[in-house]
Chain A
Amino acid sequence: MEIIAHALRENPLVTAFAFVGLIMLVSVYLSRYLTLGRVHGSAIAIVIGLGLAYWGGIQTGGSKGLADLKLFAGIGLMGGAMMRDFAIVATAFEVHVDEAKRAGLIGVLSLLLGTVIPFIFGASVAWSMGYTDAVSMTTIGAGAVTYIVGPVTGAAIGASSDLMALSIATGLIKAILVMVFTPMAARFMGLNNPRSAMVFGGLAGTVSGVSAGLAATDRRLVPYGALVATFHTGLGCLMGPSVLYLATKAIVG
Chain B
Amino acid sequence: MIIYGTAILAACHLLGVYIGDVLGSLIGVKANVGGVGIAMMLLIYVRMFLHKRGLMPASTEAGVGFWAAMYIPVVVAMAAQQNVVAALKGGPVALISAVGAVLLCAVVIAIINRTGPQSQNDSWTTGTVADET
Residues of A within 8 A of B (CB): 16-17, 20-21, 23-24, 42, 45-50, 52-54, 56-58, 63-67, 72, 75-76, 78-80, 83-99, 106, 110, 113-114, 117-118, 121-122, 125-126, 129, 131, 140-141, 143-144, 148, 152, 155-156, 165-166, 168-179, 181, 185, 188-196, 199-200, 203-205, 207-208, 211-212, 215, 219-220, 222-223, 226-228, 230-231, 233-235, 237-238
Contacts and interface: CB of A to CB of B under 8 A. Distances in A.
Contacts of B102: 174, 177-178, 181, 204
8 contacts: A79-B81, A89-B12, A93-B43, A121-B101, A126-B93, A144-B101, A199-B116, A234-B32
A227 B40 contact: yes
Contacts of A98: 132
Contacts of B79: 45-47, 49-50, 53, 79, 179, 212
A23 B105 contact: no
Interface in B33-70: 33-37, 39-41, 43-44, 47-48, 61, 64-65, 67-68, 70
Given A20-B76, A191-B113, A234 B82 contact: no
B76 A46 contact: yes
Majority DSSP secondary structure for residues of A touching B:
helix
Given A65-B84, A66-B81, A85 B73 contact: no
A97 B44 contact: yes
